[in-house]
Amino acid sequence: MPSSSAGPGVAYVAGTFDTKGHELTFIADCVRTAGVRAVTVDLSTTGAKSSADISAATVAGHHPEGAAAVFTGDRGSAIAAMTLAFRRFITSRTDLGGLISAGGSGGTALVTPAMRDLAVGVPKVMVSTMASGDVRPYVGPSDICMMYSVTDVSGINRISEQVLSNAANALAGMIAHHRTPSAAGKPAIGLTMFGVTTPCVQGVTAALADRYDCLVFHATGTGGQSMEKLADSRLLAGIIDISTTEVCDLLMGGVLACTEDRFGAIIRTKLPYVVSCGALDMVNFGAPETVPAHYSGRCFYPHNPQVTLMRTTAEENACMGVWIGERLNRMEGPVRLLIPEGGVSMIDRPGQPFHDPEADKALFDALERTVVQTANRRLIRRPEHINDAGFIAALVANFLEIA
């Protein structure tokens, strides 16, 4: 996978040259004027010839079933196939310095999956008519720069000329002034944190800061994805996944859900991995009126006017224990699962609103029943609360043991 450590390289200007050729050529010319090499890539699915340096047929040839799978004559299947072909094409480039495109909803959906496949740190700029709305489906956990086109990407006028040249110069500047990570002397590790596990994560980072560059991710759905994106990009030396709360929202319909691929990067990379049960006692919703009606009568806690927390039940916890345990069983690298029997969040203590020992026990027992322990994969029960000093010390000791 092309990574930011490769240094300055070529700017790839990609898009549908049958409809956006004039605009994409303008971007490439601006990049070259800024002193950066540029290569144009056609992603059209009509089969028409274009002025691009790399033809649509060449890109389509990267589809697993060949170019014929792209040029089907059916717009929907052709675009889906070209999207896959371009993802395989762009990640095969060894001279990639950055990627830029411009388009509407179709062009944005066509190019951004390939941008997300690139490592964090590789410059990515998408000029889009969709950039003023909800861009999460396009950006995901990546560092894509979305720039609103203001006018449609249709011709060079007094507005588009300025917007497109700004985007081109931004990409050229990122490529020309590539920065080597300042903390390169220390290996980086990822940690997940939620408000109710903050003391734990802060204690762990303080204990490891002299040895590691500690990157903390807010477990808001996208946060976990971002951490795993760095793992897949080979930018992490290990992970201490303290706050796995995103699983609650995935399985119970909360608003801060992870994807089905949660833990997938650890399975793929075999990184040293310490994991715990932080905030698995809560599902996140918006304001109280947004909570689904079928959850009426449950135990709720108003975190703030915009966030309502719902306590998970023993049944839900047992389901989560199995879901997480089955994924841990697929990990072949060194794994340590630490269970805090004293509680999994700030509000899961005696006297606090989410204190429910029976619900916690259902989670812990399901994990212990499901996780297949080996010499490399161990489950460790601890008597402390997740934010207690003893539990923090145990997390640190277990990570240092396997890292």
Q: pLDDT-derived band of residue 2, with 50, 70 and 90 as boundaries?
A: very low
333 touches 376 (CB < 8 A):
yes
Condensed to tens digits (0 to 9), the pLDDT of residues 389-400 reads: 999 999 999 999
The pTM for the full model equals 0.79
pLDDT in tens, 44-82: 999 888 999 999 999 999 999 999 999 998 888 999 999
Give the confidence band of 6 by pLDDT, cuts at 50, 70, 90. very low
Torsion of CA 323, 286, 204, 217, to 10 degrees: 80
Q: What are 112's two structure tokens?
A: 């951004």
> Looking at residue 48, what is its pLDDT?
85
* Encoded tokens for 272: 């040293």
Percent of the chain with pLDDT strictly greater than 90: 90
What is residue 183's predicted lDDT score, i.e. its pLDDT? 55
For residues 102-137, one letter each, b for 16 or more C-beta atoms within 10 angstroms of the residue's C-beta and e for the rest, the string is bbbeebbbbbbbbbbbbbbbbbbbbbbbbbeeebee
Percent helix, percent strand, percent coil in the chain, to nearest 5: 40, 20, 40
Under 8 Å between Cβ of 79 and 53 = no
pLDDT of residue 1: 41
How large is the average pLDDT for residues 162-188?
Answer: 89
pLDDT tens sequence across 84-103: 999 999 999 999 999 999 99
Say if CB 125 and CB 167 are below 8 A apart.
Answer: yes
Q: Assess whether pLDDT exceeds 80 at residue 7.
A: no
Q: Residue for token digits 């920065």? A: 179
Count CB-CB contacts under 10 A for residue 333.
17
The closest alpha carbon to 8, from 95, 97, 118, belongs to 97
pLDDT value, residue 47: 84
- How many Å apart are CA 164 and CA 156, to the nearest integer? 9
Arithmetic mean of pLDDT, 269-297: 96
